Amino acid sequence: MTLRLTEEDNARLDELAAAEGRSKQEVLRLALADRWARLHKEEQLGEALGRILPRYSGLLERLGAV
């Protein structure tokens, strides 16, 4: 795989890698893993809210939250 970065993005990646004592490749792999984990958590939250909100819709309306 080839990743093309602007000079500015490459400089930022160099800075992150140096600050963390990691390779640029490792910094990018960790960033990808972090982003994937956040997306997965957002999906789980959406599923949970889809189950919970209908159950408590009356209460939420009485509280003025909806």
CA pair distance 29, 20, nearest whole angstrom: 13
The answer to whether 24 and 11 are in contact (CB under 8 A) is: no
Per-residue pLDDT of the chain (66 residues; tens, 9 = 90+): 899 999 999 999 999 999 999 999 999 999 999 999 989 898 888 888 888 888 888 888 888 865
DSSP 29-58: HHHHHHHHHHHHHHHHHHHHHHHHHHHTHH
Query: Which two tokens mark 46?
Result: 């959406």
Alpha carbon separation from 4 to 1, 7, 10 (Å, rounded): 10, 9, 9
